Amino acid sequence: MRGAETGGDAGRGIIGYFLSSFRVTVLLMVGLALLGAWSVLTLPREATPEVTIPVAIVVTPYPGAAARDVEELVTVPVEDAVSGVEGVDTVQSSSRLGISSVTVTFAAEEDLAEALRRVREAADNIRGLPAAAEDPQVLEVNFSNEPIISLALSGADTQLLSVLADDLAARIEAIAGVSQVDVVGGRGAEISVRFDPQQIATHGLSIGAVLQAIRAGNVDAPLGQIETDRFQYDVRLPAGFVSVSDVAGLPVRLSSGQTVPLETLAEVRQTLAEETSYARVSVAGSESKPAVTLAVRKKAGGNIVRIIDEAQQVIADARGELLPPEVQVVASADRADEIRTSLANVSRSGLQTLLIVFGLLWLFLGWRAALIASLAVPLSFALSFLVFDQTQVTLNNISLFSLILSLGLLVDTAIVVVEGVVQQYEAHGPEGLLARTADVVRRFARPLTSGTLTTVAAFFPMLLVSGIIGEFLRVIPIVVAATLISSLLVALLFIPVVAARMLGRHAPVRQQRYFDVVFSRWQATYRGFVERILSAGRFQRRFIGGLALLLVLGLALPFTGVLQTGLFPAVDTNFILINVELPPGSRLEQTDIAVRQVETLLHAVPEVASYTANVGSGISLDFTGGGSSASSHLASFYVNLNPGRERSSLEISDSLRIAVRDVPGASVTIEDVSAGPPAAAPIELRVVGPDLSILDRLSQDVMDELSSLPGAQDIDRSLRYTAGEFRLLFDRDALAGAGLTPADVAQLLRNTIFGQEATTFLDERGSEVSVRAAASADSVDSIDDLLVLPLVAPSGRQVLVGEVARAVPARSIDSIRRRDGERAVTVTADAARGTAPNTLTAALQDRLSRRQLPAGYRIEFGGEQQETTETFADLYRSMIIAVVLIVLILVVEFDSYRQPLLIFLSIPLALIGVLFGLVLTGGQLNFAAFIGLVSLTGIVVNNAIILVDRMNALLADGLPVRTAAAEASASRLRPILLTTLTTAAGVAPLIWVDDFFRDMALTLITGLLFSTVITLVLVPILYVRQQEKLQRRYGRRPSTEPAAPSPVP
């Protein structure tokens, strides 16, 4: 046994050093394992990879302006300014009452900080905006800035809830990684100043003058410093408000010169702020209670699980010092819970995969060799986790899937080395085993490296995919490359040491096992089959022709609709998002009526654990525009589902879609959560043209066509009309005669109708109080009241609004959308479960192609269909690059052009299995399936390399071509089956995780099983035909040298 214990004859070089330094090697392995464990414990956790795409929104408030005026006077100048910024991809805008929003999307490779700087610079240089418009603000849009948890505070006292919510929001915002906390619902304290415009005018005052007096009377400012001989003193003017009495007693100077307190001109009282939103919460089927919700958003790179844990701790700490017992806190849409569940499911599948792989290795190799080979898994993963830490890869479903995918591949390199060491020990005993182990490693180093590089080459071009999907995808090639390269290092440096030490301590004669006997019979049967088909020319021609036909038929499946295509499948989650929308202009009370009807429907769903209803704000899973919007006609629900339910969230959503159709006057939509990053609607098209009335008609025609297609649901469009508007048309001569301008009238009406926050101050408790001034509720409640409002001319004469303007009713648009400088109406729809979006899109395209559009108008298709087309085009390009890289590696390895071509043919064989396999199993050709297909490329190529490499070796030893082919096929049956089974069985547990992993796993399994069976038949046939053709051409036996010793046990 001494040869197995000493390393003097192990050779020089790094391999020899590791073999000779057993204790150092063990320390390195232990240290590596500990570092890997530390990395995995500290890695951020999230459900999916974080996506960062440079997007900015330029927001310009223009208070009181109608959508058309906002578009013409604000949006168009802003678009013109930002569209010329370097690196801009698209410019989209929305103009609505009082606000312009321009979304600027940059190319994915642009630096976000630099892109924002360029947009801000362009926005700062905009000239000619209306005087009443505020300065443009440039906001960063982050796809990771969605709410990660919603906390609802419920109780009877809504004012108390508002105070508590503000306090908790401030505490949670102090947590590292939190970007902001949105508070919805509740009513804070406010001082209301309500005046009668007629009374103000009789005193010779304008509303603007009263507002200015309130602002001027609330002054609390430093005035500077005074220096004396010995000291320096600060001078301060503490003339600010501290109570409602200060505001009520504020002296106001009249035009007559008399001074009167503000309370003689207006009603001044402390009250609650006007409700702009409601929130309610229901737990365990109970009647919903008033609440205030806090939506917590994270910064880019924030650790979701840690942030939510710390936020929950803030709530727990507040229970003893801040929150009274009667206030209940309910968490909704808890992403940490979702992430933990998801990661637990994938981790459980990974453990099952490890056990399955070990079981297969034990079956094929015996328990001792299986144990040694399995040691490569934790060591390779440990190295990979160190790479995670350095490349900003988080612990998420996609990175875990990549590890599981690699698991079946990384043990192959270890198996080769272990089997080589076993063969050496059985042949020569323990004497000099370390030196012979070093020879084994050196002999296998090159082919193992080539095999690893071909697999890495299949994944590497995924880094070149652009856009949001490219950001989402980059995790896979990084993880797979890191894991496989780590496994190569482990197999060449650590596994030989363990194998030589462990195997050298046991008897050299391996007992023949029952499985070996059975497998020998399979091997003999397979060899006989190969020998027969190599002599059956008719069978070969039919077999090759049949495969070519299957390939053509398989490629036709996606285009015929038999195989559904898509981007990301919807997945089962523990929550549901519901949006409620009424016609624009609907009052908050009307929206609340519809919300209560939805609440009634939710109480009838047994799987609902709790829900939070937010009236006055909507929520979306497309966060390019910020993810949510606030308006009185919008509402949203976060619905928590019981974790032990029988129905999936998708099934519950489908049943709710049917139930909510009965809610009158409201559009109720249920958002399904997809497995990928934020994406556009499954079906989306844009009607582009200059005239809104024509766009209205054309987009309505498109909606009618969609409605007639079976399977189309949640049909909507971006063009919406409000309840209407009154337009004031000025008599310019009368206005000029009074010495007034349109701006004077606009300011009066804006202050009267909307009111204004005149100022704010801190009360005795240190709480911020707003002072809001507006016309009394009964002074202006019709258009006629507006027309008799008095204007104070510069001469002091009162002029009624109706003397200089008349009111004309008109139809009003809620928002005007534009894309790249043109008006566009976007029509969107979803596909019912079981209906492919691409099928509906194709049917709609066919119908619309027969329509004649007016000159200057066009229809553009976008949405998920466009994203799918662009993404798959990128993936196809990446796959072509991968094939080129693989061929280059094979040419270097085999020093031949013909044999790499023969090996390459194994790739379309896998495609046949994938396409038909997805149809038979009810899968979908989507992003997940394509990733599985790319993964297959490296695996099936390695199987073909194994066969061709061995055939070359036997042919070089002098065997006839057909004998060499049959002998090589039989001798390589075990490693090929072992690779196929460990990979296929390894990913099998992922089928039951969710639909995303299901399609990935099905692609790998069906493609692997089919291609492996066909490869074992086709490669010998093509190899023999190729070699015999060369013999006939050159009249002699071709000289074939193996590129390197076969990397196979």
Sequence-separated (6 or more) residues with CB below 8 Å from residue 23:
none
Strands (E), 107-218: 137-141, 147-154, 178-184, 189-195
Give 600's pLDDT tier (boundaries 50, 70, 90).
very high
Q: Is the model's pLDDT at 9 over the cut of 60?
A: no
Between 527 and 976, the more confident residue is: 527
Distance from C-alpha of 553 to C-alpha of 729, rounded to nearest angstrom: 68
Q: Judging by beta carbons within 10 Å of its beta carbon (0-12, 13-18, 19+), is residue 804 exposed, middle or buried?
A: buried
Domains in the chain, ordered, with CATH? Answer: 1-42+343-511 (1.20.1640.10), 53-141 (3.30.70.1430), 189-220+239-272+725-810 (3.30.2090.10), 517-562+895-1049 (1.20.1640.10)
* Angstrom distance (rounded) from CA 690 to CA 854: 11
Output the furthest CA–CA distance in the chain (Å, rounded).
Answer: 123
Q: Say how far apart CA 327 and CA 161 lie, in whole Å.
A: 8
| Residue 626: pLDDT band with limits 50, 70, 90 | very low
Q: Say if CB 803 and CB 734 are below 8 A apart.
A: yes
Structure tokens at 111: 């630096």
Answer yes or no: are the C-beta atoms of 449 and 493 closer than 8 Å: no
Q: Which long-range contacts (CB under 8 A, 24 or more apart) does 463-467 make?
A: 464/874, 464/877, 464/878, 464/881, 465/871, 465/874, 465/875, 465/878, 466/107, 466/108, 466/109, 466/874, 467/53, 467/108, 467/867, 467/870, 467/871, 467/874
Closest to 627 in 3D by CA, of 75, 55, 48? 55
Q: What is the pLDDT of residues 396-417, one digit of tens each?
A: 878 887 887 777 677 777 877 8
Number of Cβ atoms within 10 Å of the Cβ of 934: 22
Are 865 and 836 in contact, with CB atoms under 8 Å apart? Answer: no
Over 70: is that where the pLDDT of 1042 sits?
Answer: no
The pLDDT of residue 678 is 60
| Cβ partners under 8 Å of residue 833, min gap 6 | 650, 654
- Find the angle CA(203)-CA(206)-CA(210) to the nearest 5 degrees: 90
Nearest to 162 by CA among 185, 135, 129: 185
Question: What pLDDT does residue 508 have?
Answer: 43
Residue 1043 CB coordination number (10 Å): 21
C-alpha span between 930 and 837 (Å, rounded): 18
Coil vs helix vs strand at 674? strand
Helical segments of 727-795, H only:
732-737, 742-753, 783-787
**Is the model's pLDDT at 12 over the cut of 60?**
no
Angle between helices 537-560 and 995-1034 (to 10 degrees): 150
Q: Is 429 exposed, middle or buried (0-12, 13-18, 19+ CB in 10 A)?
A: middle
What is the overall mean pLDDT for the chain? 81
- Cα–Cα dist 550/548, whole Å: 5
Residue 708 CB-density burial (10 A; 0-12 exposed, 13-18 middle, 19+ buried): exposed
Q: pLDDT class for 1040, splitting at 50, 70, 90?
A: very low
Instruction: Name the DSSP letter for residue 71.
Output: I
Residue 7 CB-density burial (10 A; 0-12 exposed, 13-18 middle, 19+ buried): buried
Q: What does the pLDDT look like over 79-138, one tens digit per residue?
A: 999 988 888 888 999 998 888 999 998 876 777 788 888 999 998 888 888 887 888 998
Strands 768-775 and 189-195: parallel
Q: Which helix (H) or strand (E) holds 954?
A: helix 927-956
Question: Using one digit for the tens of pLDDT, what is the confidence trace for 847-875?
Answer: 888 888 999 999 988 876 677 677 777 77
CB neighbour list of residue 827: distance below 8 Å, 6 or more residues apart: 684, 685, 686, 687, 699, 702, 703, 706, 715, 716, 717, 718
Q: Out of 450-459, 534-543, 933-942, pick the least confident.
A: 933-942
Strand partners, 226: 233
Least confident range from 432-436, 553-557, 674-678, 776-780: namely 674-678
Q: Give residue-wise pLDDT tens across range 565-580.
A: 767 777 778 888 899 9
Distance of CA 191 to the CA centre of its chain: 44
Question: Which amino acid is present at 627?
Answer: G
Q: What's the chain's length in residues?
A: 1049
For 803-853, the pLDDT digits (tens) are 888 888 877 788 899 999 999 999 988 888 777 777 788 888 888 888 889
Bridge partners of residue 103, in order along the sequence: 57, 92
User: How many Cβ atoms are within 10 Å of 958's Cβ, its own excluded?
Assistant: 9
What angle do helix axes 304-321 and 158-173 make, rounded to 10 degrees?
130
How high is the pLDDT of residue 58?
92
Q: Of 887, 13, 1029, 879, which is closest to residue 442 (Cα–Cα)?
A: 13
Q: What is the pLDDT of residue 599?
A: 93
Phi, psi of 762 (to 5 degrees): -100, 125
Instruction: Read off the pLDDT of residues 490-510 as tens digits, 9 standing for 90 and up.
Output: 888 888 888 887 766 654 444
DSSP 3-state helix, strand, coil percentages of the chain (rounded to 5)?
55, 20, 25
Predicted local distance difference test score (pLDDT) of residue 4: 43
Cross-strand pairs, 105 = 55, 90
Q: Judge contact between 122 and 87, C-beta under 8 A.
A: no
Q: Are 523 and 973 in contact (CB under 8 A)?
A: yes
Residue 1037 pLDDT greater than 60, yes or no: no
Tell me how far apart the terminal alpha carbons of the chain are, to the nearest angstrom. Answer: 24
Residue-wise DSSP of 55-78: EEEEEEE-TT--HHHHIIIIIHHH
